[in-house]
Every structure is written in C-alpha cells, then in structure tokens.
Copies of this chain bind each other. A is one copy, B any other.
C-alpha cells in the first residue's frame, strides 16, 4: 500500500480567512499581544483548533524555545499527583506552555534519570520534578541544564526552586487528632528510606520523624511503632498485615499517604476488623479517594492544587530569569477529619 499523502501545511493566512480577521490580528493573538478583544481571541483560537494550525515549531524554534514544560510524576496511580497537576496546568493555561508528563517509576532512580534526560533531550524549556528520589547532585545536574522546580523534598539547593509542605506539622496534626480521640497505641506506616543522605529532605522521612516527635511530645515515646514499606496500596496492605501480627495491636494506624491507607483498609477488612470500630485509620494527601463516602478517610490536606500553582509560578519566573536566586516555598497542611477515625475503644 502507498503511504497516505501528506496534508498541505496550514498557514496563518488560512487561519485569518477562517476566522475572518486580518493576519495581523492572528499574529497578535499568537503573541498574546495587547489590542485584541476576548471575543476575537476566542474566534481565532477556534479557527486554529479547527484547522490544526501549528505556529509553534518554526516560530518558536527560532526563538530557541519549545514552550514545553516537562513534569515528572513518580506514580500515575497515586491520586495525589493529579491534584498537583491540576494546579499546574491551570496556572499555565493562559500561557503558551504545553505540559508533557514523564512517568518516573516509584523509588526508581535509574528510571527517573532516564525520564529527566529524555526531557532534556527533547528540549523542554523547564521541568517540574514531583517527589523525585534522585540524589541532590543528580537534581542539581539537571537544574544546571534546564530551569527546574522540585516538588516535595525539603532542602535548600541553590540550583533549583522547591515547593514543599510542612510534613512535620502534618504528622503532628494526625497524632494530635488521634491522641485527642483517646488513642495511645498509634502506629505509623512509612515509605522506607534507605539512603541516609536523603533522610533530611524526603517528605516521607520527615513525616516519620514528625510522627516520632509528636508521639514523644504527647508522652507516648514507648508506643512509637513504625512499619517500613512503600507509599503504594500494596505497601499499606503489607504494613497493616505486619501490624496485625503484633502481640499488642495498635488502636490507630497513621498511613503516610492516602493510597497506603487504602491498602490498610483492605487488610483490615480481610481480617474481619471494622474501621473505625476496631481500628482508626488516617491517611495523608486528602485525595479525592479520601472523600469517597464508602472510604471517608481522615487525612492531611497538603493543598495539591496550590502546590502545583506555586510550582508553575516559580518555573515561569526561572525560565524568564534562569540566573535568579533559588526560591523555596513551604506550605502548611490542615487536617480533614472523617469517619475512619473515632474514639479509642469506642
């Protein structure tokens, strides 16, 4: 068979004719210049979409930009990340930037390196790395090549901007809530952190340390009980199974992420235990799953959309001025109490 014929390339003249405006007007809309009404902009953009006009490749290539932002996501199944992404794309909507996502792979440094290098190779103007596990030297190498914002890890690199959440406070909110309900045997399921250099920066490690600190502050140092698995549904399931084998079973489980809490609920249901009747369960991230009525999970709200919006704002600033000093934004979480937590022994 013959290959299908190549379509004639649509030009700015076609767009102008289709929208019944001048080519100058189309050009203004393309450049986001002043002097066009919202109605005209919309009309031109409809024509651009209808005709499949693509001004970018040539015009933009000449200016040395691809108008592409690469976003690395570690785990497309974790429902927290779409929240961040919503905030990010919302903040970029009025710009010319297109978001492309690179799936990184949970806890997989080589996969992360492959994605970041692939994005650099493909000429991304900027990158947002969400919850990367790569070493700081690797992240700094990336950031020296392309303007980069890192979301999640704490730390104050001079090479890239960061948006993080106060994970110490988040853990304290959960422990305080459970202690207020009369719980003492409060266990935590953490995402295992094997690299000692990352203990000070990674949200999972800071959450676990925040749990320890809060337990001590409530006089519950003796009750500290941490199971190390991963921030996945399976990690929650396996962690809960370990906790259920304890001679003294916890009365409450603080899962380090909502997706982990889902696995905990599964293990408890399988063991014939009711939530919160037998065991209270709290998560972290306040995802859309936590709000589902059959689940109704107490969780910590990190304001994912706001995190994404801040990341976009920082990245646009860094692309405009790559030499500026690094900015570090830390947001404060809140607790959302739902039906999965209740009075101890209740």
Contacts and interface: CB of A to CB of B under 8 A. Distances in A.
B79 A77 contact: yes
A266 interface: yes
5 contacts: A2-B323, A57-B120, A68-B118, A265-B292, A292-B295
Nearest to A237: B293
Given A66-B122, A103-B99, A294-B265, A113 B52 contact: yes
Interface string A289-319: 1001111000000000000000000000000
A54 B146 CA distance: 14
Nearest to A268: B293
A79 to B, nearest CB: 7
Nearest to A61: B121
A168 to B, nearest CB: 29
A270 interface: yes
A320 to B, nearest CB: 13
Count copies of this chain in the complex. Answer: 2
A324 B1 contact: yes
Nearest to A158: B4
A54 B117 contact: yes
Nearest to A105: B89
Report which residue of A52, A70, A325 has the largest number of chain B beta carbons within 10 angstroms of its beta carbon: A52
Given A292-B266, A325-B1, A141 B100 contact: no
A138 interface: yes
Contact of A68 (B85, B122, B324): B122
A124 to B, nearest CB: 9
B269 A56 contact: no
Contact of A82 (B2, B3, B6, B76): B76
A110 interface: yes
A58 to B, nearest CB: 9
Given A76-B85, A98-B102, A98-B115, 18 more contacts: A1-B325, A4-B143, A6-B144, A45-B110, A52-B141, A54-B117, A54-B120, A68-B118, A85-B103, A100-B101, A100-B122, A101-B102, A265-B294, A266-B292, A266-B294, A269-B293, A270-B293, A294-B295
Contacts of A1: 323-325
B266 A293 contact: yes
